[in-house]
């Protein structure tokens, strides 16, 4: 059975347990594209899916159930992340997804990876949290600058990811010629541990489960970008701003790591019904969802209503826009 099929089967089983006599036709499945299982999009997408779901027969919000959308069963689907999610949502293959602001804006405008092929169907539901760029090095490895990556075996993230687009722009800017490997986070950590990679890039909300595991076994180093490098990256990729991964986020990394970050956003298609997206947006920002996000993942705490519109540079979905207007966030 495919990964997606397993999720649908699991969701259906939950519905049958919750409702007993609930009929399949009462349900509406809503597929949320996330990322690799070892990254942050996948668990965050799962939390959001749980928060906005309310299968037929489930307890209502006022009786202790979720404050999700009645009849909705949202499913977190593992994908190759940002670029893949933008493409799939535009094509109607996914109902929603998580994507970095760079991929969202470039996709909508037909720039960068989407040159000449704009994804004008995509719309934003909410800005979520900053995604920190990690440059992970084999244990005991140190770099004096990014240019030291010349000639190394480097993981440049999965094909179809926003990270890969950004990494290749950075490598080109510094004239770095490396042996590039298109790998997801799980593959990258495995190959670094086995000595098949010297380093890899990956951007996402901290901490990565795969890196926590790597730190407790083989160990790794995190590269701290210099002030000049952070400035240069911001100039070539304006969506990336200065950030920092605090000491202790990964148990084996005892110093602050200076880096850059791009905001992750929840997006959908303009073809999704306005009333549905309004209800989903309202459920996303309910008190029940707040509790789920705070307890479910350390990056969930960074998903705040007050920053829901930060860095949103393409149109909101009309349903989401209606919600933000109702609560006075926009005129």
Domain ranges of the chain: 3-128+264-326, 132-262
303 CB-side CA count, 13 A = 32
CATH classification number, 132-262, choose in 3.40.190.10, 2.60.40.10, 2.160.20.10, 3.65.10.10: 3.40.190.10
Residue 142 confidence (pLDDT):
95
- For residue 285, which phi and psi values (nearest 5 degrees)? -105, 20
Alpha-carbon span 93 to 172, nearest angstrom: 32
Give the pLDDT mean for 184-196. 96
Of the pLDDT bands very low, low, confident and very high (cuts 50, 70, 90), residue 69 is very high
Bridge partners of residue 135, in order along the sequence: 201
- E strand or H helix at 143, and its extent? none
Residue 19 confidence (pLDDT):
43
Cβ atoms < 10 Å from Cβ of 39: 29
Alpha-carbon span 76 to 323, nearest angstrom: 23
pTM comes to: 0.82
Looking up tokens 């004008």 gives 120
pLDDT averaged over every residue in the chain: 91
Alpha-carbon span 235 to 226, nearest angstrom: 14
Reference 327, options 302, 299, 305; nearest CA is 305
Q: What is the DSSP string of 81-108?
A: -HHHHHHHHHHTS-SEEEEEHHHHHHHH
Cβ atoms < 10 Å from Cβ of 31: 22
Looking up tokens 């309004």 gives 278
Query: Measured in whole angstroms, how far is the alpha carbon of residue 246 from the centre of its chain?
Result: 20
CB 135 within 8 A of CB 83: no
Q: What is the pLDDT of residues 251-295, one digit of tens each?
A: 999 999 999 999 999 999 999 999 999 999 999 999 999 999 999
HEC string of 282-326 equals: HHHCCHHHHHHHHHHCHHHHHCCHHHCCCCCCCCECHHHHHHHHH
Bridge partners of residue 33, in order along the sequence: 77, 97
> How many residues in the chain?
331
Query: Can you read off the two tokens belonging to residue 248?
Result: 């202790």
Residue 253 confidence (pLDDT):
97
Looking up tokens 């069963």 gives 73
Domains 3-128+264-326 and 132-262 are alike in CATH topology: yes
* Architecture per CATH, 3-128+264-326: 3-Layer(aba) Sandwich (3.40)
- Beta strands per DSSP E along 92-157: 96-100, 122-138, 153-155
Q: What is the pLDDT of residues 114-153, one digit of tens each?
A: 999 999 999 999 999 999 999 999 999 999 999 999 999 9
In the predicted model, is pLDDT for residue 38 greater than 90? no
Residue 135 confidence (pLDDT):
98
**Cβ-based neighbours of 173, under 8 Å, separated by 6 or more:** 232, 233, 236
Query: Measured in whole angstroms, how far is the alpha carbon of residue 41 from the centre of its chain?
Result: 4
**Cβ-based neighbours of 64, under 8 Å, separated by 6 or more:** none
**Cβ-based neighbours of 134, under 8 Å, separated by 6 or more:** 201, 202, 203, 204, 208, 211, 222, 245, 259
Of the pLDDT bands very low, low, confident and very high (cuts 50, 70, 90), residue 160 is confident
Query: Can you read off the two tokens belonging to residue 214?
Result: 């790597």
Residue 234 confidence (pLDDT):
92
Query: Can you read off the two tokens belonging to residue 330?
Result: 């926009």
In the predicted model, is pLDDT for residue 24 greater than 60? no
User: What is the DSSP-derived secondary structure letter of residue 40?
Assistant: S
């Amino acid at each position: 059975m495919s990964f997606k099929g397993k999720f649908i089967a699991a969701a259906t089983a939950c519905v049958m347990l919750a409702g007993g006599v609930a009929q399949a036709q009462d349900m509406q499945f809503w597929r949320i594209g996330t990322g690799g299982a070892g990254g942050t999009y996948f668990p965050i997408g799962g939390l959001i899916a749980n928060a906005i779901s309310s299968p037929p027969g489930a307890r209502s919000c006022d009786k202790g159930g979720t404050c999700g959308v009645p009849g909705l069963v949202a499913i977190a689907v593992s994908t190759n992340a940002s670029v893949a999610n933008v493409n799939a949502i535009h094509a109607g293959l996914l109902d929603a997804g998580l994507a970095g602001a760079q991929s969202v804006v470039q996709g909508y405008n037909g720039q960068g990876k989407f040159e000449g092929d704009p994804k004008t169907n995509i719309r934003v539901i909410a800005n979520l949290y900053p995604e920190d760029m990690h440059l992970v090095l084999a244990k005991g490895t140190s770099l004096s600058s990014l240019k030291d990556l010349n000639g190394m075996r480097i993981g440049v993230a999965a094909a179809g990811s926003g990270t890969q687009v950004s990494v290749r722009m950075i490598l080109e800017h510094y004239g770095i010629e490396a042996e590039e490997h298109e790998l997801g986070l799980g593959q990258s950590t495995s190959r670094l541990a086995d000595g098949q990679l010297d380093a890899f890039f990956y951007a996402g909300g901290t901490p990565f489960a795969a890196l926590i595991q790597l730190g407790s076994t083989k160990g790794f180093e995190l590269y701290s970008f210099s002030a000049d490098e952070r400035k240069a990256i911001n100039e070539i990729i304006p969506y990336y701003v200065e950030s920092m991964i605090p000491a202790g986020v990964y148990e084996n990394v005892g110093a602050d790591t200076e880096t850059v970050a791009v905001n992750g956003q929840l997006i959908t298609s303009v073809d999704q019904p306005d009333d549905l997206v309004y209800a989903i947006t309202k459920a996303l920002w309910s008190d029940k969802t707040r509790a789920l996000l705070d307890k479910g993942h350390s990056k969930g705490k960074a998903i705040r209503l007050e920053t829901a519109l930060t860095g949103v540079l393409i149109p909101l979905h009309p349903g989401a826009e209606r919600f933000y207007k109702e609560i006075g966030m926009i005129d």
